[in-house]
C-alpha cells in the first residue's frame, strides 16, 4: 500500500504552499522602480553590481563551451524571464543581445519596461505580462535568462516551463537559471510566506532540469558577496537540450 504522507506525519512539499494570487499581491505592493527592485535583492547597492558582473563572466564562459555558439559579439535574441522592472535587461542582457524580450506577470513592472529608453531604442522587443507558468514562446531564442523568480512556480510548472523553453531554443541556444539555493539543514526546499515562494536545493534543481530534458553544461556559485551579510548562496546553471 502506498503510504499517505499526511497519515505518516510527513509535511507537504514546499511547493504545495505556493499561491500565485498571494505572490502577485506581494509584488504589486512593491513600488515599481529600480531602487525597489534592489530592495528585493537585499537592499544592498553593491549587490546588483556584483550580480551583473558575475552574470557577464558566466555567460562568456558558457558561450565557449557550446559548439556553434559565437564567442564574440552579441547574440541575436534573448529573453529576460521574471524580469521585474528590467534590472537584468538594463544592466546586462541588453549588452549581450541585439534584442531582449521580457516575461513578467506584474503589469506595473512591465509598464516600466515598456516606458524605458531601451524599449524606445528597440533593444527591448516584445513584453509579455504573464508568469512563467503561462508563457508559451512563439519564437526562437539564443538565450533564455531566468533569474530570481522560479520560486513562484511549482515543481511541475517549472518542468513544463523548461520543456517549452527547450523547444524555443535556436540551434546553439542556451537557458541560464540564476537562483538562490536552500540552506535548510535537512536538505529540503524552503517556503517563504512573505512572497509565497520556494527556495530550492541544488538537488531539486538538477532533478527538474533532467525531467525537462536538459543537461547542465556549466554550473557555478556567484562569488563575491561579502560573507558577513549571510546571504543565501546564489547558483548559475547553464542548460542545453540533452542529445
Ligand atoms: C526578486 S524579483 C527579480 C526580478 C528580476 N529577475 C531581477 O533579478 O531583478 C522577482 C520577480 O518575479 C516576479 N514573479 C512573481 N511571480 C512570478 C511568476 N509566476 N512567474 C514569473 N515571475 C514571477 C515578480 O513579479 C518579480 O518581478
| 176-221 pLDDT per residue, tens | 999 999 999 999 999 999 999 999 999 999 999 999 999 999 999 9
Domain ranges within the chain, ordered by starting residue:
14-241
The predicted pLDDT at position 37 comes to: 62
15 Cβ contact list (under 8 Å, min separation 6): 154, 155, 189, 191, 198
Chain Cα centroid distance, residue 60:
18
Q: Is 23 in the pocket of ligand 1 (CB under 6 A)?
A: yes
How far does residue 82's CA lie from ligand 1's centre (Å)? Answer: 4
Report whether pLDDT(124) > 50: yes
The predicted pLDDT at position 202 comes to: 98
Task: Give the model confidence (pLDDT) of 68-95 as tens digits.
Answer: 999 999 999 999 999 999 999 999 999 9
Task: Give the model confidence (pLDDT) of 151-175 as tens digits.
Answer: 999 999 999 999 999 999 999 999 9
Cβ atoms of residues 181 and 212 within 8 Å = no
Q: Is 32 in the pocket of ligand 1 (CB under 6 A)?
A: no
Task: Give the model confidence (pLDDT) of 32-73 as tens digits.
Answer: 876 656 665 655 677 888 999 999 999 999 999 999 999 999
Give the C-alpha separation, 242 to 3, whole Å.
34
User: How far apart, in Å, are the Cα atoms of 77 and each of 15, 74, 95, 96?
Assistant: 31, 9, 12, 9
Cell numbers placing 143:
538565450
The predicted pLDDT at position 148 comes to: 95
Ligand 1, atom nearest to 82 Cα: 22
The predicted pLDDT at position 32 comes to: 84
Mutate to test the pocket of ligand 1, among 54, 105, 128, 150 (most ligand atoms within 8 A of CB): 105
Report whether pLDDT(10) > 70: no
HEC string of the chain equals CCCCCCCCCCCCCHHHHCCHHHHHHHHHCCCCCHHHHHHHCCCCHHHHHHHHHHHHHHHHHHHHHCCCCCCCCCEEEEEEECCCCCHHHHHHHHHHEEEEEEECCCHHHHHHHHCCHHHHHCCEEEEECCCHHHCCCCCCEEEEEEECCHHHCCHHHHHHHHHHHHHCEEEEEEEEEEEECCCCCCCCCEEECCCCEEECCHHHHHHHHHHCCEEEEEEEECCCCCHHHCCCCEEEEEEEECC
Query: Which residues on neighbouring strands pair with residue 77, listed in sequence order?
Result: 99
Computed over every residue of the chain, the mean pLDDT equals 92
Superfamily holding 14-241: Vaccinia Virus protein VP39 (3.40.50.150)
Give the C-alpha separation, 155 to 224, whole Å.
29
- Per DSSP, the three-state class of 146 is strand
Q: Is 26 in the pocket of ligand 1 (CB under 6 A)?
A: no
Cβ atoms of residues 242 and 214 within 8 Å = yes
H/E element, 170: strand 169-180
Tell me whether residue 25 is annotated as binding: no
The predicted pLDDT at position 86 comes to: 94
Phi first, then psi: give them for residue 81, nearest 5 degrees: -100, 130
Q: Is 151 in the pocket of ligand 1 (CB under 6 A)?
A: no
Amino acid at each position: 500500500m502506498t503510504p499517505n504522507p499526511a497519515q505518516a506525519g510527513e509535511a507537504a512539499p514546499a511547493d504545495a504552499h505556493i499561491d500565485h494570487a498571494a505572490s502577485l499581491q506581494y509584488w504589486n505592493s512593491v513600488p515599481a522602480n529600480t531602487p525597489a527592485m534592489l530592495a528585493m535583492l537585499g537592499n544592498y547597492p553593491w549587490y546588483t553590481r556584483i550580480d551583473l558582473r558575475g552574470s557577464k563572466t558566466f555567460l562568456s564562459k558558457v558561450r565557449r563551451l557550446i559548439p556553434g555558439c559565437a564567442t564574440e559579439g552579441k547574440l541575436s535574441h534573448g529573453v529576460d524571464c521574471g524580469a521585474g522592472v528590467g534590472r537584468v535587461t538594463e544592466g546586462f542582457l541588453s549588452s549581450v543581445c541585439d534584442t531582449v524580450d521580457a516575461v513578467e506577470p506584474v503589469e506595473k513592472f512591465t509598464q516600466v519596461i515598456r516606458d524605458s529608453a531601451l524599449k524606445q531604442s528597440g533593444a527591448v522587443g516584445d513584453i509579455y505580462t504573464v508568469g512563467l507558468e503561462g508563457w508559451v514562446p512563439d519564437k526562437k531564442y539564443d538565450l533564455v535568462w531566468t533569474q530570481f523568480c522560479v520560486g513562484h512556480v511549482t515543481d511541475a510548472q517549472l518542468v513544463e516551463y523548461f520543456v517549452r523553453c527547450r523547444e524555443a531554443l535556436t540551434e546553439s541556444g542556451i537557458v541560464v537559471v540564476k537562483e538562490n539555493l536552500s540552506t535548510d539543514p535537512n536538505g529540503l526546499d524552503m517556503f517563504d510566506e512573505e512572497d509565497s515562494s520556494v527556495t530550492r536545493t541544488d538537488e531539486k534543481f538538477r532533478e527538474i532540469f533532467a525531467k525537462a530534458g536538459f543537461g547542465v553544461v556549466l554550473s557555478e556559485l556567484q562569488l563575491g558577496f561579502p560573507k558577513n551579510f549571510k546571504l543565501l548562496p546564489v547558483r548559475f546553471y547553464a542548460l542545453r537540450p540533452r542529445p
